[in-house]
Each structure stands twice: as structure tokens, then as C-alpha cells.
Amino acid sequence: MHAPVSEAAKTGHNRPRNAGTPLDPSWFESVGVNASAVERRAATLSGRRSVKKAHQAAWLVQALTCIDLTTLAGDDTPGRVRRLCAKARRPLSDELLTALELTDAPPTVGAVCVYPTMVGPAVKALEGSGVPVASVATGFPSGLTPLPLRLAEIRYAVDEGAEEIDIVITRAHVLNRDWAALYDEVQAMREACGAAHLKAILATGDLKTLRNVYAASMVAMQAGADFIKTSTGKEDVNATLPVSLVMLRALRDYGEQTGYTIGFKPAGGLRTAKDALNWLILMREELGVAYVRNDLFRIGASALLTDIERQLEHYATGRYSANHRHAMG
């Protein structure tokens, strides 16, 4: 199977930063969301779309390059992070690379995502790989620490070498429809990021309505977010196809208004190769082929990589391997 990863997929960060716009509620206040229609559209993706054999393997390799390989555990250590980074650098075995004819262009994941105190070890472990380090910040996952502390946490992570910052918004601003407060908060975080890309986590499971999801997406982009992200992975409900569809429509509308292409990251709940295929199909059908590359699409996950490896090995050998053959580090 010939499915080399493109240079665009390898390098990432090759698009103009989102400069943002002044806050303009007219872009979203009058927008309604038909929840039933959204759910019907999302259901067609998993119910009526499928890719098989070599095509499926190629799509799964592409999904692998879009993973933000993540560890956000309370017992994370530099050793665990180094092992995860080794997996990020070479996620597929030499045998599997040979079987898939990928030895000339072995794929890597899109990024490694860690807590701020683990950024330093991750940066050192990934040196020379081209894989960026992303850091959660701003009081992740609740985002309820005082704003000066949240901004200081961003600056700390950037100083440690993080190239991407996954911030969390104050959900109360959305629930109270205080768009000015939300805009000012994200704009301040964008400024604190400096050259690092800002991925705004909306925690959509806490936002109650799809209309709120659309509005929060638009405000975050107006404030300068380079990516919008569904979830922290800690909410009761994380990434879903209907929520993702609404967010994609928002970033498409923002792009038509401003000319900026904004990235998208679902996180939480994507655990199987089938999940990865469903989201790739969503991106391809809603936004086009450019949005299945990792400069505009990331998947926040860890266990997902194991299932992708198992499916690729089944394609190559005709047999499913045990999970322990695909350790994360």
C-alpha cells in the first residue's frame, strides 16, 4: 500500500495564524440550529459511508498522523512522557511499515499533548522529530482558576517549549451569554501564547445547546483561536458527531467571512479506528480534502492509536493482534 504522508501533514503550522476580528454578535446571535436535522446528517456518516481494504488502510494511516497523542494523568512522570514521545516518533513497527510500504516515509503522530510541567521532558524527547509539543493550560480541565494564573500558566508552557496551547474557556460566559467576557478572555489567552498556536477547548458537553456551541465557536474564532476543540475529555459527554458538525459549520462560516482557515480537534470518546474514519469522513464531506491533514485537523486521543495499529496489522497480515503487542510506550 502506497500512502506516504505529505509534507503538509508532516510539518503542520504552515497556514497563516488567525488574526481574529472585533467581537460581532450579529455573526451568530440570529443563527438557529435544527437539532433533529443535525442528528440526521451526522447519522448518515456512520450508517451509509464506508471505506474498505487498501482505501481503509490509507485513511487510517492519515488518521494516525492527525492524533495528538495525549497523557493527562495525575501520576504522569518524565519517564512516562519520554516513552509516549518514543511512540509518537515511531507509532508503527518496522514490520508493519514494511508491509504497508511506508519505510521511505514513516508516519508520525500530529503532536504530543501533556501538562505544562511535562513540556520540558517532551520537547527534549521529540527533538529533531518534527513532532510539536502541545500543552493544556488555563486551569485545565475546569478553567476556573483566576485569569492572571491561567495566563501565567500559558506563558510557562510556551517558555518550556510548547508550540501549541490547548486552553479551556469559562463555560459560565457561554451559559450567561456574556460574549464580551468570553471574547476578552480568549483574546488575552491568544496574546499570552505568543507564537504558539491556540486551540480553544469549548467543553461542549457543558454548554447545553447546539446554538450555544455555534456561538461559542464563533466568539473563540473572533478572539483569535487557531483551532476550536470539542472537549477536555473530562466532561460527561465529550466529542460527538452532531456537536462536531455544528462546530465545522461555524468555522466554515467564519472562513467565508474572514478568509482564515481554522482547525478543528475532537477529543474525548474517540477510541476505535471506526471513530477515526467517521470523523475523517465528516471533515472530508463538510470541508474538503484539506481538512483531513494535521495542519487543520487533530484528534485528541491515546487508546485510539492502539486500535488503528491493530486494524492496520489485520490488513497487512489477515490476523488481529492482541492489544499488548501495541504498547503506548
Q: Which of 10, 87, 199, 229 is catalytic?
A: 229
Please give the Cα distance from 197 to 316 (Å, whole number): 37
To the nearest 10°, report the CA torsion of 73, 137, 292, 268: 40
**Is 52 known to be catalytic?**
no
Alpha-carbon dihedral sign for residues 70, 76, 82, 86: negative
**Is 166 known to be catalytic?**
yes
Count of CB atoms situated within 10 Å of the CB of 182 = 26
Give the type of residue at 47. G
Question: First and final CA of the chain: distance in angstroms?
Answer: 26
CB 132 within 8 A of CB 153: no
Q: Which of 166, 206, 226, 307 is catalytic?
A: 166
What is the 3-class SS of 87-148, one letter each residue? HHHCCCCHHHHHHCCCCCCCCCCCEEEECHHHHHHHHHHCCCCCCCEEEECCCCCCCCCCHH
Q: Which of 10, 87, 199, 265 is catalytic?
A: 265
* Buried/exposed 286-307: b ≥16 CB within 10 Å, e otherwise: bbeeebbbbbbbbbbbbebbbb
Q: Which helix (H) or strand (E) holds 159?
A: helix 147-160
Residue 105 sits at the vertex; the CA angle it makes with 100 and 111, to the nearest 5 degrees, is 105
**Is 234 known to be catalytic?**
no
CB 247 within 8 A of CB 279: no
What the block records as the C-alpha cell of 220 is 473563540
Task: Tell me the catalytic residues.
Answer: 166, 229, 265
